[in-house]
Amino acid sequence: MYIPDRLKKSLKKILYILRLVSFRARLGNPGKLSNLERYIDGLRNDQANYLFEFVKADYANYFLLQKNYFGEENSICSMLCRYEHFQSSWFEKWSVEMGLYAYKELSLGAEFHRKAWEWCAIAQALSERGMLKSGKKGLGFAVGTEPLPALFAKYGVSILATDLDVRDRRAKAWASTNQHANSLDKLYYKHIVSKDIFESNVDFYFADMKSPHDIEGKFDFIWSSCALEHLGDLMEGFAFILKACRLLKPGGICVHTTEYNVTSNDSTIECGPSVIYRRRDIENLDRLLRHSGFCLEKIDFWAGRDLHDRHYDTEPYYTSGKQHVKLLLDGYVTTSMTLVIYA
């Protein structure tokens, strides 16, 4: 049945309003810390006790891990994607190793694309904190067809890569845009790592980010690339972060990227298929993490001053002649943000 575009937009707006009313009725205003705290109160006490007991039992080892993290200034903190990063030595290193500009299967549609920035920033954040070496264990959520599992395997890291079960209706939408993994083969890139090394270091498992406790084991690091904003609402993303932290070995780190609202610290998209986090939400996240014995790496909200930081891409994307460092999403200028979390 044909539905006029104007009617589609009206229906989409009505659906969003209904979701927002339901969301607010269920959880209150997500900008207020008290509501967030109530939502995850049962999680954070267990996490804080778990971390405290480890530190008490093996303080010397924990101290050495922390010394490795904080011994020198790192290139990647909790920060926004900026054009200047595309000119950095770390972006050049990782983009070349992953073949982001040399192989058609990893082509992203723009020379300066925030997704390329996310992958390179995650790799750099892990590398400079000593995580990309033999003996380390990493866990990736909603990996889709990204090259990171292959890249990490190249460095001898044992990787568990996860994505939604193919039987989950949500997986179908991602599969239609080639952003869903249903097997180990979807994650293999022969120009990054040999087949033997890849298969010996990478395992694949179906997992729902809303239920990460189904995964067994403890990991040195966890990552996800622009996935937590697709869990339904702002709160679900925060809940995922805290639940995922339980899967870290004490002294481990999480590196997530997500959608950030560059132009508003007040209104935003709070629920629906893709939400957008504001500065105040990220600041509240740090407070919540600290209640649980975790914390965000220092936060840099500077959005950049280059022409490509001020001129944003618009729909249909990649046709405006503008780069994809910033973009217009449902009326808000957004970009990607890294969240580096310490256990």
Q: For residue range 75-122, what is the model confidence (pLDDT) as tens digits?
A: 999 999 999 999 999 999 999 999 999 888 788 888 899 999 999 999
Mean pLDDT of 63-81: 69
Q: Residue 264: what pLDDT?
A: 97
0.85 cut: is pTM over it?
no
pLDDT digits (tens, 9 = 90+) for 14-36: 655 555 555 555 445 544 445 55
Identify whether the C-beta of residue 27 lies closer than 8 Å to the C-beta of residue 39: yes
N-terminal to C-terminal alpha carbon distance within the chain: 52
Tokens of 248: 């870290």
Beta strands at 332-342 and 327-329: parallel, antiparallel or unpaired: antiparallel
Tokens of 217: 């084991």
Q: Residue 108: what pLDDT?
A: 85
Tokens 């999403």 correspond to 329
Centre a 10 Å sphere on the Cβ of residue 242 and count the other Cβ atoms it contains: 22
Give the closest residue to 245 by CA, choosing from 340, 131, 121: 340
pLDDT digits (tens, 9 = 90+) for 323-342: 999 999 999 999 999 999 99
Report the chain's C-alpha Rg in angstroms: 20
Tokens of 335: 């970009």
260: left (phi over 0), alpha (psi -120 to 50) or beta: beta
CA separation for the pair 209, 155 (Å, rounded): 26
Residues 6+ apart with CB under 8 A from 245: 47, 222, 254, 289, 292, 294, 341, 343
Mean pLDDT of 193-218: 90
Residue predicted with more confidence, 58 or 284: 284
Identify whether the C-beta of residue 163 lies closer than 8 Å to the C-beta of residue 142: yes
CA-CA-CA-CA torsion sign (276, 229, 89, 308): negative
